Amino acid sequence: MVDFSKKEYEFPVTVEFEDVDSYKIVHHTKFVAYLERARVHFLTDLGFDLHPENMNIVLFSLDLRFKKTAQLLDNLVVSVFITSMDEFRLVLGYKIRRGKELLLRATSGIAFMDSQTRQIVPAPEKYAEKMRHFIIGNRD
Protein backbone atom coordinates (compact mmCIF):
# COMPACT_ATOMS: atom_id res chain seq x y z
CA MET A 1 0.00 0.00 0.00
CA VAL A 2 1.21 3.50 -0.83
CA ASP A 3 1.54 5.74 2.21
CA PHE A 4 0.88 9.11 0.60
CA SER A 5 2.21 11.00 3.63
CA LYS A 6 5.61 9.29 3.35
CA LYS A 7 5.46 8.88 -0.44
CA GLU A 8 6.58 5.29 -0.16
CA TYR A 9 5.09 1.90 -0.77
CA GLU A 10 5.36 -1.00 1.66
CA PHE A 11 5.17 -4.58 0.44
CA PRO A 12 5.23 -7.49 2.93
CA VAL A 13 7.29 -10.62 2.19
CA THR A 14 7.62 -13.84 4.16
CA VAL A 15 10.86 -15.78 3.63
CA GLU A 16 9.91 -19.20 2.31
CA PHE A 17 11.87 -22.47 2.26
CA GLU A 18 12.83 -22.07 -1.41
CA ASP A 19 14.35 -18.65 -0.61
CA VAL A 20 17.14 -19.92 1.66
CA ASP A 21 20.46 -21.42 0.62
CA SER A 22 22.60 -24.14 2.14
CA TYR A 23 23.71 -21.68 4.84
CA LYS A 24 20.03 -21.29 5.85
CA ILE A 25 19.94 -17.60 4.91
CA VAL A 26 18.13 -15.83 2.08
CA HIS A 27 20.12 -16.15 -1.14
CA HIS A 28 21.02 -12.80 -2.73
CA THR A 29 18.99 -13.56 -5.86
CA LYS A 30 15.85 -13.86 -3.74
CA PHE A 31 16.41 -10.35 -2.40
CA VAL A 32 16.42 -9.18 -6.03
CA ALA A 33 13.12 -11.04 -6.58
CA TYR A 34 11.62 -9.31 -3.52
CA LEU A 35 12.62 -5.92 -4.98
CA GLU A 36 11.14 -6.83 -8.38
CA ARG A 37 7.89 -7.98 -6.81
CA ALA A 38 7.58 -4.80 -4.73
CA ARG A 39 8.40 -2.59 -7.74
CA VAL A 40 5.73 -4.22 -9.90
CA HIS A 41 3.09 -3.87 -7.18
CA PHE A 42 4.14 -0.26 -6.48
CA LEU A 43 3.76 0.74 -10.13
CA THR A 44 0.52 -1.16 -10.72
CA ASP A 45 -1.04 0.13 -7.48
CA LEU A 46 -0.23 3.66 -8.68
CA GLY A 47 -2.22 2.80 -11.81
CA PHE A 48 0.57 2.25 -14.31
CA ASP A 49 0.18 -0.12 -17.23
CA LEU A 50 3.35 -2.23 -17.26
CA HIS A 51 2.91 -2.77 -21.00
CA PRO A 52 2.36 0.71 -22.43
CA GLU A 53 1.45 0.74 -26.11
CA ASN A 54 4.52 0.31 -28.35
CA MET A 55 6.86 0.51 -25.33
CA ASN A 56 8.68 -1.67 -22.87
CA ILE A 57 9.74 -0.75 -19.35
CA VAL A 58 13.38 -1.82 -18.93
CA LEU A 59 15.77 -2.03 -16.01
CA PHE A 60 19.07 -0.24 -16.66
CA SER A 61 20.71 -0.35 -13.23
CA LEU A 62 20.54 -2.23 -9.96
CA ASP A 63 22.64 -1.58 -6.86
CA LEU A 64 22.25 -3.58 -3.64
CA ARG A 65 23.89 -2.91 -0.28
CA PHE A 66 23.51 -5.82 2.12
CA LYS A 67 23.48 -5.00 5.82
CA LYS A 68 22.20 -8.17 7.52
CA THR A 69 20.88 -11.60 6.59
CA ALA A 70 17.32 -12.89 6.60
CA GLN A 71 16.28 -16.43 7.50
CA LEU A 72 13.45 -18.87 6.93
CA LEU A 73 9.99 -17.53 7.92
CA ASP A 74 11.23 -14.02 8.65
CA ASN A 75 8.53 -11.42 8.01
CA LEU A 76 10.06 -8.64 5.93
CA VAL A 77 8.80 -5.36 4.55
CA VAL A 78 10.11 -3.94 1.27
CA SER A 79 9.76 -0.15 1.06
CA VAL A 80 9.83 1.43 -2.41
CA PHE A 81 10.12 5.14 -3.18
CA ILE A 82 11.15 7.35 -6.09
CA THR A 83 14.52 9.03 -5.57
CA SER A 84 14.82 10.86 -8.89
CA MET A 85 13.33 11.20 -12.31
CA ASP A 86 14.25 12.92 -15.53
CA GLU A 87 12.71 12.80 -19.00
CA PHE A 88 14.13 9.33 -19.72
CA ARG A 89 14.88 7.65 -16.38
CA LEU A 90 13.22 6.82 -13.11
CA VAL A 91 15.36 5.81 -10.13
CA LEU A 92 13.68 3.89 -7.31
CA GLY A 93 15.04 3.43 -3.81
CA TYR A 94 14.33 0.40 -1.64
CA LYS A 95 14.79 -0.75 1.91
CA ILE A 96 14.15 -4.23 3.21
CA ARG A 97 13.50 -4.46 6.93
CA ARG A 98 12.73 -7.09 9.51
CA GLY A 99 10.82 -5.05 12.04
CA LYS A 100 12.96 -1.95 12.60
CA GLU A 101 16.15 -3.75 11.54
CA LEU A 102 17.53 -2.70 8.13
CA LEU A 103 18.67 -5.70 6.07
CA LEU A 104 19.23 -4.20 2.65
CA ARG A 105 19.30 -0.86 0.88
CA ALA A 106 19.04 -0.74 -2.91
CA THR A 107 18.35 1.40 -5.97
CA SER A 108 17.18 0.50 -9.45
CA GLY A 109 16.83 2.55 -12.59
CA ILE A 110 14.11 1.99 -15.14
CA ALA A 111 13.45 3.57 -18.51
CA PHE A 112 10.96 3.35 -21.37
CA MET A 113 12.09 1.71 -24.60
CA ASP A 114 10.35 1.90 -27.97
CA SER A 115 9.44 -1.71 -28.77
CA GLN A 116 10.12 -1.26 -32.50
CA THR A 117 13.35 0.76 -32.56
CA ARG A 118 14.71 -0.52 -29.23
CA GLN A 119 15.71 3.04 -28.38
CA ILE A 120 15.14 4.69 -25.01
CA VAL A 121 12.33 7.25 -25.26
CA PRO A 122 10.86 9.82 -22.89
CA ALA A 123 8.37 8.53 -20.35
CA PRO A 124 4.78 9.02 -21.49
CA GLU A 125 3.46 12.23 -19.90
CA LYS A 126 0.65 10.39 -18.10
CA TYR A 127 3.33 8.32 -16.28
CA ALA A 128 5.67 11.24 -15.65
CA GLU A 129 2.92 13.39 -14.16
CA LYS A 130 1.96 10.72 -11.60
CA MET A 131 5.58 9.95 -10.72
CA ARG A 132 6.53 13.59 -10.08
CA HIS A 133 4.25 13.59 -7.04
CA PHE A 134 6.22 10.74 -5.46
CA ILE A 135 9.80 11.97 -5.76
CA ILE A 136 11.32 12.12 -2.29
CA GLY A 137 15.02 11.91 -2.98
CA ASN A 138 17.46 9.60 -1.24
CA ARG A 139 16.33 8.33 2.16
CA ASP A 140 18.59 6.96 4.85
Predicted local confidence at residue 67, as pLDDT:
98
Predicted local confidence at residue 136, as pLDDT:
67
Distance, CA of 105 to chain centre: 11
The C-alpha atoms of residue 69 and residue 104 are separated, in whole angstroms, by: 9
Predicted local confidence at residue 62, as pLDDT:
97
Query: Would you place residue 38 in the very low, low, confident or very high pLDDT band (cuts 50, 70, 90)?
Result: very high
Which pTM does this prediction carry? 0.87
Question: Could you count the other beta carbons within 10 Å of the beta carbon of residue 33?
Answer: 13
pLDDT at residue 35 is higher than 90: yes
For residues 129 and 85, the answer to whether their CB atoms sit within 8 Å is: no
What percentage of residues in the chain have a pLDDT greater than 90?
62
The C-alpha atoms of residue 35 and residue 95 are separated, in whole angstroms, by: 9
Instruction: Give the range among 12-16, 91-95, 131-135 with minimum mean pLDDT.
Output: 131-135
Q: Which residue has the higher pLDDT, 110 or 126?
A: 110
pLDDT at residue 139 is higher than 70: no
What percentage of residues in the chain have a pLDDT greater than 70?
91
Distance, CA of 117 to chain centre: 26
Q: Count Cα atoms within 13 angstroms, Cβ side, for 136.
A: 18
